[in-house]
């Protein structure tokens, strides 16, 4: 199939999102070179899905037309760029798909431009399910020509591509999207807890909300599936959501925007990371509100 000028793609970060996204690229006919700091993930990807595995970032990017990064934070991206070193050759395009910090991304972009490497930011929304089906929403920041160059690659992973501004603008948009998701989740859990205390059935409440104006992404896709079921395994980490809300607050600070409601939301998510411990799914945030209420949702059991 015709895949445009970018054929060989170094894919850095074979995590919850990176794995299904890289799999879409393999399926679309791109030559994918997988790489992860946990090298066994890249090897397993090459064995199970296809493409090649590289032992380190320098080996992955050598000879690549484009490099995709989808790593936890901008700090990880900085480390990965450092590890690529001179193997990242002039003329290559770096597509940074992490939910990163816009100012950090601008800094990377300037340093890379001086070496003849173009960069765009292209963070995603839709989670693991839409990464699997190639139906992600992709928010693009950067120079129009570079964005256009990346499009054939991005079309294999997403259905809604929106160029929202210069470098870092995609990540600002993504952080604000997740601020709304984080706030909607929290207020929804609180509403369910109040309702349960009143005598309403939380599962029935979710049905009513989904037919009413209180509906949001959490009522539709999270509360029954991951909270009331007590599964807490949506595939998006609690630390990552807390990080996204912090990035939104950084953007608020940089732009001098007073946002007391968002600040409270950030404090709650950041507190939950400490209270609930590492490695939790973001839907486990419900347990934070449950602990405050002294009661769990669903069966009326006391929260652990």
Kindly name the residue from 174, 221, 222, 224 that is annotated as catalytic.
174
Spatial distance between the Cα atoms of 164 and 185, rounded to a whole number of angstroms: 25
288 is a contact residue toward ligand NAD (CB under 6 A): no
22 in Cβ contact with 11 (< 8 Å): yes
Phi, psi of 300 (to 5 degrees): 75, 10
Please say which residue, 182 or 191, places its beta carbon nearer to ligand NAD: 182
User: In the window 118-177, what residues touch ligand NAD (CB under 6 A)?
Assistant: 124-125, 127-128
How far is it, in rounded angstroms, from Cα 113 to Cα 118?
6
- Closer residue to ligand NAD, CB minimum distance, 84 or 205: 84
Which positions from 200 to 239 touch ligand NAD by CB under 6 A, shown as an x/- string?
A: -----------------------------------xxx--
DSSP bridge partners of 119:
94
Residue 221 is a catalytic residue: no
Helix, coil or strand: residue 141? strand
Q: CB nearer to ligand NAD: give 137 or 187.
A: 137
Q: Does residue 12 bind ligand NAD (CB under 6 A)?
A: yes
186 makes contact with ligand NAD (CB under 6 A): no
**Burial class of residue 199 (count of CB atoms within 10 Å of its CB; 0-12, 13-18, 19+):** exposed
61 vs 193, beta carbon nearer ligand NAD: 61
With CB atoms as reference, the residue minimizing the distance to ligand NAD is 15
The answer to whether residues 81 and 35 touch, using CB atoms and an 8 Å cutoff, is no
Annotated catalytic residues are: 174
């Amino acid at each position: 199939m015709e895949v445009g000028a970018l054929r060989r793609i170094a894919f850095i970060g074979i995590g919850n999102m990176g794995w299904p996204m890289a799999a879409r690229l393999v399926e679309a006919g791109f030559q994918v070179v997988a790489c992860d700091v946990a090298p066994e993930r890249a090897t397993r990807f090459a064995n199970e899905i296809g493409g090649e595995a590289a032992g380190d970032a320098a080996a992955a990017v050598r000879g690549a037309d484009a490099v995709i990064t989808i790593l936890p934070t901008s700090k990880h991206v900085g480390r990965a760029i450092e590890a690529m070193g001179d193997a990242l050759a002039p003329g290559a395009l770096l597509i940074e798909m992490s939910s990163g910090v816009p100012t950090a991304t601008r800094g990377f972009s300037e340093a890379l431009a001086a070496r003849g490497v173009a960069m765009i930011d292209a963070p995603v929304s839709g989670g693991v399910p839409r990464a699997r089906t190639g139906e992600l929403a992709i928010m693009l920041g950067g120079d129009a020509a570079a964005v256009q160059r990346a499009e054939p690659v991005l079309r294999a992973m997403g259905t809604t591509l929106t160029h929202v501004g210069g470098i870092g603008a995609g990540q600002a948009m993504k952080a604000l999207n997740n601020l709304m998701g984080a706030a909607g989740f929290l207020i929804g859990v609180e509403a369910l807890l109040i309702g349960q205390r009143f005598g309403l059935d939380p599962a029935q409440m979710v049905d009513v909300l989904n037919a009413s104006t209180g509906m949001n992404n959490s009522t539709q896709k999270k509360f029954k599936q991951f909270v009331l079921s007590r599964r807490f395994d949506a595939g998006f980490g609690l630390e990552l959501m807390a990080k996204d809300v912090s990035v939104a607050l950084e953007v608020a600070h940089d732009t001098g925007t007073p946002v007391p409601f968002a600040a409270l939301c950030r404090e709650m998510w950041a507190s939950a990371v400490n209270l609930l411990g590492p490695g939790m799914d973001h839907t486990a945030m419900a347990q934070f509100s449950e602990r405050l209420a002294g009661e769990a949702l669903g069966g009326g059991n006391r929260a652990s």
